[in-house]
């Protein structure tokens, strides 16, 4: 059986046959950012099914292709469609695309997601730059034998979200007249939304937002030495004392409203890099 390293090399070789682009920046589009790929100049879109060893996308609102090209004049690789542990993918599968972006040469990773707002100063439709995370997913892509070619056994997590990228994004947001909150993202397994007691607990431990993605990809990216910027689109308020049932349809509806702002912020951030 091929090692993870060998599998990634095979994926990279197949991608390079279709595009010689050496992307500086990788982007993972979560709920709320689908569509950025359409703004890519001279893009080569490769369906995940045509990349050896790549997982396949099953989630609603997630396409499955890798788009290589230029955004704001920079060479980028955009993953349209991500994988979540709640779908049954292993942490290794969820982070496989990050390993591929890294092996393609991308030194920076930008991620987006949809999240519930725990901080009561947030409202549905807000954007939050992730300053730090709490991993409550019960999975970790770094478990198992460590291949030093990817990164060290015990990666440092003192600043997984690059402070300079957060500062740049905040500057872009000010220029765009777009309010950008900052906060801590708690990653949970899902797929159910949380109980009131869980929302109370999450607020108590210092989380400002909660969602079911991003943390595994960030762990793999930091392990591999990438600089990370991640932004959450707040799709619902999670106030345990006034909790209303939320439907996934409503969440996707708010995510769709967030898309243009999110797309613009990422476009401007890439320009500022
Ligand atoms: N919890 C978890 N994930 C989410 C939520 C939530 O309240 N809202 C959007 N994604």
pLDDT band, very low/low/confident/very high, at 56 (cuts 50, 70, 90)? confident
Ligand 1, atom 5: nearest CA belongs to which residue? 116
DSSP assignment letter at 195:
P
**Residue 58: its pLDDT value, please?**
66
Within 8 A by CB and 6+ apart from 71, the residues are 25, 27, 36, 39, 40, 41, 78, 267, 270
Task: From 212, 213, 234, 256, give the residue whose CB has the most ligand 1 atoms within 8 Å, as the site to mutate.
Answer: 212
Residue whose Cα lies nearest atom 3 of ligand 1: it is 211
What is the mean pLDDT of the segment spanning 68-76?
Answer: 95
Q: In this predicted model, what pLDDT tens digit does every residue of 1-40 receive, in sequence order?
A: 899 999 999 999 999 999 998 999 999 988 766 778 777 8
Coil, strand or helix: which one is 89? coil
Residue 233's beta-bridge partner residues?
114, 127
Q: State both tokens at 137.
A: 């997913």
DSSP alpha helices (H): ranges in the chain? Answer: 4-18, 91-103, 163-176, 196-204, 215-223, 248-272
The rounded distance, in Å, linking the Cα atoms of 157 and 154 is 9
Atom 6 of ligand 1: nearest residue by CA position: 116
Does 128 have pLDDT greater than 60?
Answer: yes
Is the C-beta atom of 208 inside 6 A of ligand 1? no
Q: How far is the CA of 153 from the centre of ligand 1 (A)?
A: 31
24-55: buried (b, 16+ CB within 10 Å) or exposed (e) per residue?
Answer: bbbbbbbbbbbebbebbeebbbbebeebebbb
Mean pLDDT on 172-178: 96
- Residue 62 pLDDT greater than 80, yes or no: no
pLDDT digits (tens, 9 = 90+) for 182-201: 999 999 999 999 999 999 99
Return mean pLDDT, the chain: 94
- Average pLDDT (207-211) is 98
Q: Decide: 194 and 243 in contact? Cβ < 8 Å.
A: no
pLDDT tens digit sequence for 220-253:
999 999 999 999 999 999 999 998 888 888 888 9
Q: Once rounded to an integer, what is the mean pLDDT over residues 249-261?
A: 89
Q: Is 60 exceeded by the pLDDT of residue 61?
A: no
Q: Name, in order, each residue with C-beta under 8 angstroms of 179's C-beta and a sequence gap of 6 or more.
A: 126, 127, 173
Q: Which among 242, 248, 187 has a CA at the least distance from the CA of 217?
A: 187
Domain boundaries, the chain: 4-272
Q: Is the CB of 263 within 6 Å of ligand 1?
A: no
Taking the CA of residue 188 as reference, the ligand 1 atom at the shortest distance is 2
pLDDT, tens digit, for every residue of 74-124? 999 999 888 999 999 999 999 999 999 999 999 999 999 999 999 999 999
CATH of domain 4-272: 3.40.50.1580
């Amino acid at each position: 059986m091929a090692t993870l390293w060998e599998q990634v090399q095979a994926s990279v070789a197949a991608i390079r046959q279709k595009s010689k682009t050496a992307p500086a920046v990788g982007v993972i589009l979560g709920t709320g950012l689908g569509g950025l790929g359409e703004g890519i100049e001279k893009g080569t879109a490769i369906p995940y099914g045509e990349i050896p060893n790549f997982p396949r996308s099953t989630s609603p609102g997630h396409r499955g292709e890798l788009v290589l090209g230029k955004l704001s004049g920079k060479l980028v690789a955009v993953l349209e469609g991500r994988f979540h542990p709640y779908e049954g993918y292993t942490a290794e599968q969820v982070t496989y695309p990050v390993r591929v972006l890294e092996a393609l040469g991308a030194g920076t990773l930008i991620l987006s997601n949809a999240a519930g707002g725990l901080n009561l100063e947030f409202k549905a439709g807000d954007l939050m730059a992730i300053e730090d995370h709490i991993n409550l997913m019960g999975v970790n892509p770094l478990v198992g034998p460590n291949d030093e070619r990817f990164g060290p056994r015990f990666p440092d997590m003192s600043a997984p979200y690059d402070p300079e990228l957060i500062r740049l994004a905040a500057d872009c947001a000010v220029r765009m007249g777009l309010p950008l909150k900052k906060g801590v993202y708690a990653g949970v397994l899902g797929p159910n939304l949380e109980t009131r007691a869980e929302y109370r607990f999450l607020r108590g431990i210092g989380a400002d937002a909660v969602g079911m993605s991003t943390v595994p990809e960030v762990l793999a990216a930091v392990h591999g030495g990438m600089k990370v910027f991640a932004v959450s689109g707040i799709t619902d308020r999670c106030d345990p004392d006034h909790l209303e049932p939320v439907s996934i349809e409503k969440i996707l509806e708010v995510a769709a409203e967030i898309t243009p702002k999110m797309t613009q912020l990422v476009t401007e951030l890439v320009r500022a890099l």
